[in-house]
C-alpha cells in the first residue's frame, strides 16, 4: 500500500433522493454519451433522458436547486442493474456523488463504485423510505455515513447499514483503487515475469 492511498472510514454530506426500483445503467447514463475518450464531463449526462425532455428540464431531483450540493444518493431496489458499464458510477461521481445508500444494488455496479472510492451502503426498505422523506422535507440536512460502525446518522435517525465485506475492507484500508494496487505491486509483477520460462 502506498502513502497516497486514501482510507475512507466516514463521509458527511447532503442527500439527493432518486425514487424508483430497477433503475438501470441505461437510465443512469444513456449509451450515446459513452462515445467519449475520457470520463470528463459525464456528470452533465447523469440521468439525462429523465432530466430533460422536449420542453427542457424536468423536475428530476438532479435538476433541483436544493440538491445541487448533494453528495449522497438515496435509491431503492436493484439500483445499477443492466449493462455493466463503468460510465454509470463515473457519471454519478462527476456530478458530485460520493456515496450511494439504497435497498439493494447490482453487483457489478457496486464493484465499479468501490473501485472509484464510492461506498455503496444497503439499508432496509422502511429505513430508505424514512431517509428519502426526510431528504425531501429538509434538503439541506447532512447525513453521516460511518463505515467503521456501519451506521447512518441523519437528523434524529440512527440507522444500521450493511456493506459488502470486501468492499468495506478495501475502503477502510485504502486499497479500493485497483490501479494503485497494480502500481504498488510493480516489483512483484516484475519478479514474476522474470521467473517465467520465455
pTM of the model: 0.84
Q: How much is the average pLDDT of 149-172?
A: 94
Q: Note the pLDDT of residue 78.
A: 97
Q: Which three cell numbers stand for residue 55?
A: 420542453
Select from 1.20.1050.10, 3.40.50.1950, 3.40.50.740, 3.20.19.10 the CATH code of 10-195: 3.20.19.10
Mean pLDDT across 28-43 = 67
**β strands within 104-156, DSSP E:** 120-122, 142-146, 151-154
DSSP 38: S
Mean pLDDT of 64-74: 97
Mean pLDDT of all residues belonging to the chain: 85
Which region among 27-31, 38-42, 61-65, 161-165 has the lowest average model confidence (pLDDT)?
A: 38-42
Domain parsing of the chain, residue ranges: 10-195
pLDDT of residue 35: 61
Model pLDDT, residue 177:
82
Would you tell me the crossing angle of helices 165-173 and 107-114 to the nearest 10 degrees? 10
More confidently predicted of 154 and 2: 154
What percent of the chain stands above pLDDT 90?
71
C-alpha cell at 70: 448533494
Pairing state between β 72-74 and 99-102: parallel
Q: Which of the pair, 108 or 38, is modelled with greater confidence?
A: 108
Q: Which residue has the higher pLDDT, 198 or 70?
A: 70
pLDDT value at residue 186: 41
Amino acid 11: pLDDT: 96
What pLDDT is recorded for position 54?
Answer: 87
Query: Minimum mean pLDDT among 36-45, 86-95, 181-190: which range?
Result: 181-190
Check: CB of residue 27 under 8 Å from CB of residue 138. no
- Report whether 41 contacts 91 (CB < 8 A): no
DSSP label at 171? H
Q: Which of 115-124, 126-135, 174-183 has the lowest mean pLDDT?
A: 174-183
pLDDT, tens only, 74-120: 999 999 998 877 889 999 999 999 999 999 999 999 999 999 999 99
Q: What is the CA radius of gyration of the chain?
A: 18
Which of 179 and 66 is assigned the larger pLDDT? 66
Rounded to whole angstroms, the Cα distance separating 114 from 121 reads 11
Amino acid at each position: 500500500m502506498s502513502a497516497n492511498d486514501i482510507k475512507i472510514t466516514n463521509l458527511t454530506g447532503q442527500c439527493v433522493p432518486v425514487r424508483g426500483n430497477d433503475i438501470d445503467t441505461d437510465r443512469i447514463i444513456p449509451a450515446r454519451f459513452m462515445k467519449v475518450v475520457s470520463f470528463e464531463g459525464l456528470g452533465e449526462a447523469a440521468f439525462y433522458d429523465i432530466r430533460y425532455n422536449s420542453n427542457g428540464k424536468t423536475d428530476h431531483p438532479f435538476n433541483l436547486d436544493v440538491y445541487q450540493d448533494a453528495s449522497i444518493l438515496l435509491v431503492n431496489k436493484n439500483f445499477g442493474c443492466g449493462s455493466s458499464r463503468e460510465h454509470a458510477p463515473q457519471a454519478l461521481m462527476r456530478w458530485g456523488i460520493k456515496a450511494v445508500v439504497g435497498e439493494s444494488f447490482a453487483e457489478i455496479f457496486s464493484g465499479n463504485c468501490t473501485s472509484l472510492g464510492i461506498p455503496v451502503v444497503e439499508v432496509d426498505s422502511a429505513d430508505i423510505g424514512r431517509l428519502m422523506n426526510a431528504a425531501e422535507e429538509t434538503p439541506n440536512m447532512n447525513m453521516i455515513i460511518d463505515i467503521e460502525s456501519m451506521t447512518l446518522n441523519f437528523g434524529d435517525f440512527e440507522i444500521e447499514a450493511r456493506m459488502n465485506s470486501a468492499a468495506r475492507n478495501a475502503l477502510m484500508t485504502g486499497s479500493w483503487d485497483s490501479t494503485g494496487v497494480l502500481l504498488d505491486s510493480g516489483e512483484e509483477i516484475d519478479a514474476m515475469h522474470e521467473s517465467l520460462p520465455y
